[in-house]
Amino acid sequence: MQVTIIKKVKADKGWKFDPVEYHGNGRIKPDPRPHTFYLDWYEDGKRKREAVGKFAPQAIARRERKQHLLTSAALGIKAVDPDRPNGTPLKEAIDVYLEDIRLTKKPKTYAAYKKALDYFAESCQKATVEEIERRDLLQYAAFLRDDKEQSPRSCWNKFSNVMSFLKAHGVRGIVKKNDWPRYVEQEPEVYESEELDAFFKACDEQERALFETFLMTGMREQELMHLTWRDIDLTHGVVRVRHKPEFDWTPKAYKEREIPIPDKLVQSLRGCKEKAETKCPLVFPNSNCSPNGHFLRMCKAVAKRAELPEDDFWLHKFRSTFATRALRSGVDLRTVQMWMGHTDLESTMRYLKPNRGKAVREKVNAMFD
């Protein structure tokens, strides 16, 4: 049973596992790319991996200890890790796991995992990962709900993040299906035509181009923040969501895609491009030619000018409206799934909503005239 060291490295198209290279003296050769070392071995016919940090000497020491423990176990000898006689310290396990998340995920994802695990460390009284049991998870769910006053959906998300952490450390099967926090799956909300007419009437030219792009492409906020003129083919009416190494940004799930856009949006974007005062590659940059992180604030400001309820306007609602309109117009589910960048068809099917609004009211009233 051989334990080897591998590394997860950042490549041009996301992260991948690579073998490590050694000097003649047994030391690991340095790698300038961002990376995390992992132990890799087979146990009971299953491949297992364990993150061991980003420092080569630490990885080699951990490999030797793991090799000793597995060899002893195979011979029927009960061996104890001299550095961890009682198991893996919870704080150390959290730190190593978060470092792996920081290196492999986006900052927003890292922040979510860190908050969830900080709360778990605050609520859990156990010293090691191996001591954690079902009651600790039940107490954590109650802690989120009662002490931190998290919403039901936030409780579920944080509980899920902690379960992923425990799974990475080999802790599985300690909670039942009904132990998970529950939340009501809310129906996606969409803008009605009257709302959009009033909203766009209050927009200036740049704002109109921005929010029409949200509405007519179904793109996510981060995708629009990093949209460049290179991504837009005004001749063929197409927008592409691509990896942007120059901004250290990748699409969700590392999936690039292409979205056709209507002539109306082509004209808006063409006018926007002609009036651009700088050579900035971004379509909707901030004043420093960097990705603009204030789209939501801009959306609320337009709604306020239009004398519309600000709480009824947010960015993802444009995406929901795009998907719902596409499906109502007869575009097939698979195509809408591709346009939206969904990894599964179930996510797209959430937008198969019944028609509402004035036209529907007229039909309902006519049924009983």
Please write the tens of the pLDDT for every residue from 176-194: 999 999 998 888 999 999 9
- Model confidence at 339, in pLDDT bands (50, 70, 90)? very high
Q: Please check the confidence at residue 83 and state whether its pLDDT lies above 70.
A: no
Choose among 347, 310, 62, 345: nearest CA to 198.
Answer: 310
Q: Are 279 and 289 in contact (CB under 8 A)?
A: no
Choose among 108, 14, 97: nearest CA to 49.
Answer: 97
Write down the pLDDT at residue 338.
96
Q: Are 296 and 315 in contact (CB under 8 A)?
A: yes
Q: Please check the confidence at residue 80 and state whether its pLDDT lies above 70.
A: no
Complete domains list, the chain, with CATH: 4-74 (no CATH), 93-179 (1.10.150), 193-361 (1.10.443.10)
Please write the tens of the pLDDT for every residue from 94-141: 998 898 888 778 888 999 999 999 999 999 999 998 899 999 999 999
As a whole number of angstroms, the distance between CA 337 and CA 323 comes to 9
As a whole number of angstroms, the distance between CA 356 and CA 339 comes to 24
Residue that the structure tokens 């063409």 belong to: 270
> Angle between the 152-168 and 134-142 helix axes, to the nearest 10 degrees?
150
As a whole number of angstroms, the distance between CA 207 and CA 194 comes to 18
Task: Give residues with Cβ within 8 angstroms of 113, minimum separation 6.
Answer: 97, 98, 101, 105, 161, 165
The lowest-confidence range among 47-56, 159-168, 253-262 is 47-56
Please write the tens of the pLDDT for every residue from 50-72: 888 888 888 888 888 888 888 88
